[in-house]
Every structure is written in structure tokens, then in C-alpha cells.
Structure 1
Amino acid sequence: MIFDDFTFLSGHFIEQDTYVTKRPQGRSDWLLTFTLEGEGYFINSGNERICRPGDLTLLKPGTPQHYGTKKDHTWQFVWVHFPSIFTETNLLPDEEQLILTIESESIRERIHRAFTRMLEDSRERGEYWFELCSSSLREILLIMAQKTNTKVDARIEEVLHLLSQQMRQPIRIEDLAQTVGLSPSRLSHLFKASTGYSIIDTLNRMRIQQAVLMLEHTGRSASEVCYDVGFQNYNHFTNQFRKWYGMNPSTFMKERR
């Protein structure tokens, strides 16, 4: 696929152990791969790195490329070659080859969805196909930048995702702990050590932040917003609002107006 004077290529490969690619001079664009199943390898400066499910590999322009499928394995991966117009690559470590393991299942699914959208948009070639592909790619690059700049335990990432996903529902720490394979007490300790807040405080803060947005940008009343964001008791909602914003919802609405 050609767009003006630079290339944007993407694909989904399922390769047997005879598959190998060698480009001693590299390419003029970036290469990003995401392993879905099996094992592949990348060789850089004589060092071999194995890629397993959940691994993202990013190669800079001009980096010699030597990669393929490990013996007795099948390697299933999605990939994209893209030009140097994506400034988000500047947020990543300045390395010829970066391999980043994504442990969180929800983040893996998000990345896979972004790759799937890129493949679909590039094949359909609609009017704004390149812009849509660029948007999906930027999402992946920003996730990579976030992962390299903030070291958070994958289990805590998963809990944060679950809290945001289930914000309006009653949350039980026991259920969260079971999902990520920890005891409730261990999860509570690890979560606070990683984020600085308890699980319940984090959930309530998420709810209040969403409530603030709704109060500012919708015509809904405070009592309606209270239930929209997951609180079951209005007094509890106002107490949490005051805790995080230093005033009750009605005062907040008056000041904003």
C-alpha cells in the first residue's frame, strides 16, 4: 500500500519453522510486530531474542533485520511497516530494537484490536484509510510509551482496567483478587503500594471524576449523576465528592455556572 512517497504495510502471518527474513541493510521505515501464538526470534548484533505471545517488537529504520520462526514451532503474528512521521516513536527508548512484553490480558486484547482495525482499514482503502490506520497505530505506540515509562505490575494494570470497565457495578475485592490470582489481602497491599491509593479509594475517585465531567457537560442533576456513575446512596456520593473536590456537588455546579 503506497501513500504519497512513503509506505504503510500491514499483515497477519502464520509461519512454520522454515520461515526467515533477512534484510542486512534494514529498511527506511519502522517495523512493529505483535506475537499472538507460538514463538519467533529476532537477531540483532549477534544476539537472539525470543518473541512469545504478548510480545511487541519495534525496529528502527536502518536496523539490520533478521527474524523468523523457532525450530519445531509455528509463529503467528501481526505486523506493520510504517514511516517516520509518527512522533510517538520519540516517546520510546532510543534503541535499534525494542521488545516489550505485555502481560495484561486486557492490554493484549486492546493491541490486537488495534492491529485488526489497521488490517481492515488498509484492505478496505476507504477515503480516510490512512488516517484510520494512523490512529490505530498511534494507540499502540502510546501504550508502548506508557509501559516503558511507568512500571506497574500487570496484575494491578488488570485491576485498574476492571475498575474502569465495571465502575457502575458493585465491586468485591475478593472477586478482583481471584481474577488476578492473588489473595484479597495481598492484592490490597500490592495495589496501594503501586498506586498510592486503596482499591475502594481508586474506584470512588474514578466515579467522582466521571461525575464531574457529567455535571460540567450534561444537563443531568447531581442526583441523576450519582447513580449514573455507580453510587447507590446520594449521601455517600456527596461525601466522596467533598473528599476529592473539597465541596459538595451543588456548590461545584454553582461555581461552574
Structure 2
Amino acid sequence: MILDVNALLAGHFIEPDTYAVKRPHGHNDWLVMFTLEGSGFVKQHGIDRICNKGDIILLAPGTPHHYGTMKSQTWQFVWAHFPSIITETNLLPQEDQVFLTIENDSLQERIYTAFARILADSRERGEYWFELCCSSLREILLIMAQKSIRKMDPRIEEVLHLLSQQMREQIRLEDLAQTVGLSPSRLSHLFKESTGYSIIDTLNRMRIQQAVMMLAHTGRSASDVCYDVGFQNYNHFTNQFRKWQGMTPSMFMKNPR
């Protein structure tokens, strides 16, 4: 399946062990490939890189490369060719190749979902379909840029994702630790070492950030917002709001930033 979207080409391939592509002079655009299942290889500058599930590779225009499937392996991957003009240049690396392993399951799913939107929007060709494709591609590049800058343990990334998704719920350290396969004490130490904050401080900060947006834009009362973001006690909410914002909720509502 190949989708021609003018300046953007994208596809979802499931290839047998006879599949190979050789471009001794590279291509005239950028190429990003994300492995979903199986194994493949990418050879560039004489270096072989094995692509397994969660591996994503970005090749610059004009970069000679050779890629294909491994012996006795099927390679399932999504890919996109795109010109540099469709995104900010600061998202595109100076190197001619970037190879990253996305170990976090949530980030893998997010990248795949972005590729799936590119394919779907290309097929449907609704209003602003090309802009939607570019937006999804930009999301992929932003995740790659973030991953390149922040070398964080994937277990801590998973905990951060869980905190953001379950912010309104009562979260237990023991449950988080079990989910990522660590003891509660080890998780607490590794989380603080990686982020600079404790888990409870990070959760409260997320809640207060959400509360700030709700107070500024929804017209809801502070007491309603307190429970909406996951606090069970208004006094605790007020104390945490002062800690992270330097003022009480009532002061903020009188002079929102």
C-alpha cells in the first residue's frame, strides 16, 4: 500500500525476507521509518543497524542507504517520505541519520497512531487533509526530538504517562511500581533522580497546572476545580496551589495571568 499525497509519501509495509531497497545516492527528501513487528536492517555509511519493534530511523535527503528484511524474518513497518519545507527546520537534525529506540509502550502507540492518521487522512482527502498529515508528521518529529534530548529511563516515562492519564484518580505508589516492575522504594529513588521531583510532587504539580487552565478558561469555581483535578480536600488544594503558583486560587481568579 503506497499513498501519494503530492509532496508526502507514506505507507504501511509487511515485507518477507526477500525485501530490499538500495539507494546509493539517497533520496531527494527525508525518510522516517518506524518498526512495528519483526526485524529489518538499515545500512548507511557501511554500518548495519538492526531495526526491531520500537526502533525509528530518520534519514536526511541525499544520504546513501540500503535497507531490507533480515533472513527468515518478516518486517512490518510504517514510513513516510517528506520534504523539509513541511516542518520547522529546528525539528530536523544536523546529522544525516538519527536512530532511536522507543522502549516506552505509550510512546510507541503514540507514534503509530500519528502514522495511522497520516495514512487515513491521505486516503480520505477531506478538508485540510495535507495540513493534517503534516501536523501528524510534526508530532512524530517532536517525539523524536524530545527523546534525543531527554535520555530518561523508559519505566519513568511510563510512570509520567500514567500520572497524566490517571491524574483525577487515587494513585498508589505500590500500583505504579508493580506496573513498571520495580519495588516502591526503587521507583521512588529512580523517579526523583530522573525528574528532580518526587512522584507525589509531580502528580500535584500536574493537577495544579490543569487547575490553572480550568480557572482561567472555564469559569468554574475553585471548589469545583479542586475535585475535577483529583484533590479530595479543598485546604490541601489551596496549599498546593500556593506552593506551585505562589498565590491562592482566589487570588489567581482575581488576576489570572
**TM-score, shorter chain, exceeding 0.5:** yes
Asked whether 1:233 is paired with 2:218, we answer: no
* Distance in 1 separating the partners of 2:103 and 2:90: 23
Q: Which consecutive residues of structure 1, in runs of 5 or more, have no partner in the other structure? A: none
**Bigger Cα displacement from structure 2, 84-93 vs 16-25:** 84-93
SS at match of 1:85: helix
- 1:25 CA drift (Å): 1.2
Residues 1:85 and 2:90 are matched in the alignment: no
Contact 1:88 1:142 in 2 (8 A): no
Give the aligned residue type for 2:161.
H
**1:27 correspondence with 2:27:** yes
TM-score under structure 1 length normalisation: 0.96
Q: Is the 8 A contact 1:115 1:137 kept in 2?
A: yes
DSSP-derived class of the 1:247 partner? coil
2:195 is matched with which residue?
A: 195
Uncovered stretches (5+) of structure 2, i.e. residues with no partner: none
Q: Paired residues, what number?
A: 254
Per-residue deviation, 1:127: 3.0
The aligned runs of 1:213-252 (5 Å cut-off) are 213-252=213-252
1:159 and 1:134 map into 2 onto residues whose CA distance is 29
What is the alpha-carbon root mean square deviation over aligned residues?
1.3
* Cα pair 1:69 1:75 within 8 Å, conserved: yes
TM superposition score normalised by structure 2: 0.96
Are the counterparts in 2 of residues 88 and 141 from structure 1 also a CA contact under 8 Å? no
Kindly indicate whether residue 167 of structure 2 is the aligned counterpart of residue 175 of structure 1: no
Give a deviation string over 1:96-137, Cα, whole Å, max 9, x none.
221110011000000000000001111112231110100000
Task: Report matched runs for 1:45-194 at 5 Å.
Answer: 45-88=45-88, 90-194=90-194
SS of the residue corresponding to residue 84 of structure 2 reads coil
Distance 2:19 2:136 in 1: 27
Query: Following the alignment from structure 1 to structure 2, what is the Cα–Cα distance between the partners of residues 125 and 76?
Result: 25
> Structure 1's 2 and 193: CA in aligned 2 closer, same or farther, altered over 3 A?
closer
In structure 2, C-alpha distance between the alignment counterparts of 1:22 and 1:161, rounded to whole Å: 39
CA deviation digits over 1:174-195, x for unaligned, max 9? 1111111111000000000111
Give me the whole-angstrom Cα distance separating, in 1, the residues matched to 2:125 and 2:91.
Answer: 29
Give the residue type in structure 1 aligned to 2:84: S
Q: What is the identity, as a one-letter code, of the residue corresponding to 2:175?
A: D
